[in-house]
Chain A
Amino acid sequence: GENVEQHPSTLSVQEGDSAVIKCTYSDSASNYFPWYKQELGKRPQLIIDIRSNVGEKKDQRIAVTLNKTAKHFSLHITETQPEDSAVYFCAAGQETSYDKVIFGPGTSLSVIP
């Protein structure tokens, strides 16, 4: 089955700097890669996702890149703000399969004002 690793487990950046979180997956059949943000005490919420037919996707200050050959994908947050502080989860799954999406263990991001 799929296995998703995520690094780093914790990340601190100064406000305005960039943050990068990296994930690797094991199943080459995976073709759907969502990212979720979870603020303290709240529900996880989807912030961006990418499918294997594209290598990069951007949404304002957030971007995700995908390298299917190396089986890794990354979340990039530019011009970080204190409200970006949260736990971020990557996940991998198969879009057209009955199968479920497997989550990484999470990265706790702290943005220092």
Chain B
Amino acid sequence: DAGITQSPRYKITETGRQVTLMCHQTWSHSYMFWYRQDLGHGLRLIYYSAAADITDKGEVPDGYVVSRSKTENFPLTLESATRSQTSVYFCASSYRESQPQHFGDGTRLSIL
């Protein structure tokens, strides 16, 4: 689905650095989500947002910060990256809660 794009696709950084992953959707979906995907854990929700300026914690929010000043953007920031945050990160959006989520292509983040 080209309507939701993530950048960068790949990122390598060092521990302690700040990293921001970008997510942009063109459908004007109200809901947006950030997941991390690790082997054996499936998709775990980090943060979600029901609308601009409304965000809430998911299952694994520690070490992450989000903002949503505009409906179409939902950036995820790792304020001080740790090796345990090495993962594949997926952004998703949906028209409303529990409606099918449309995923981006993911960002593969490696923290050395």
Contacts and interface: CB of A to CB of B under 8 A. Distances in A.
B90 interface: yes
A100 B33 contact: yes
* Residue from the set A34, A97, A98 with the largest chain B CB neighbour count within 10 Å: A98
Contacts of B44: 103
A43 B103 contact: yes
Contact of A94 (B48, B56, B58, B98): B98
Contact of B101 (A101, A102, A105, A106): A101
A93 B99 CA distance: 10
B103 A44 contact: yes
Interface of B: 1, 33, 35, 40-45, 48, 50, 56, 58-59, 90, 97-98, 100-106
Contacts, number: 55
Main secondary structure of the interface of A (DSSP, over half): loop
Contact of B98 (A32, A45, A104, A106): A32
Nearest to B6: A43
Contacts of B59: 102
B97 A103 contact: no
B56 to A, nearest CB: 8
